[in-house]
Amino acid sequence: MTTATVTSKGQITIPAAVRAELKIVPGDRIEFVKISDYRFEVIAATQDITQIKGLVKTKHPVSIDEMNTAIKVKYDSPG
């Protein structure tokens, strides 16, 4: 198991082996996704958004207005 220590500023250094496995380099972003209480998944956010085009297949096209409404509902709701 690979570990890291949190500094007084709340920072950590991602170990080299983990950076290599995630294929992240200086300047890349990572995301922390909550899986359950006290558990998070670290995801490398290194792909350009255009690379995920077509990843999700649907028979119901969604309009920009529907997307904006969904986003507004998610971020306006408590929790």
Supply the pTM of this predicted model: 0.54
* pLDDT of the residue at 6: 96
* pLDDT of the residue at 3: 92
* pLDDT of the residue at 52: 65
* pLDDT of the residue at 16: 95
C-alpha–C-alpha distance, residues 56 and 72, integer Å: 21
Could you tell me the two tokens for 39?
């558990």
Start-to-end C-alpha separation, the chain? 33
* pLDDT tens by residue, the chain, 79 residues: 889 999 999 999 999 999 999 889 998 889 898 999 999 998 888 766 676 677 677 788 888 998 888 888 766 766 5
Domain positions in the chain: 16-76
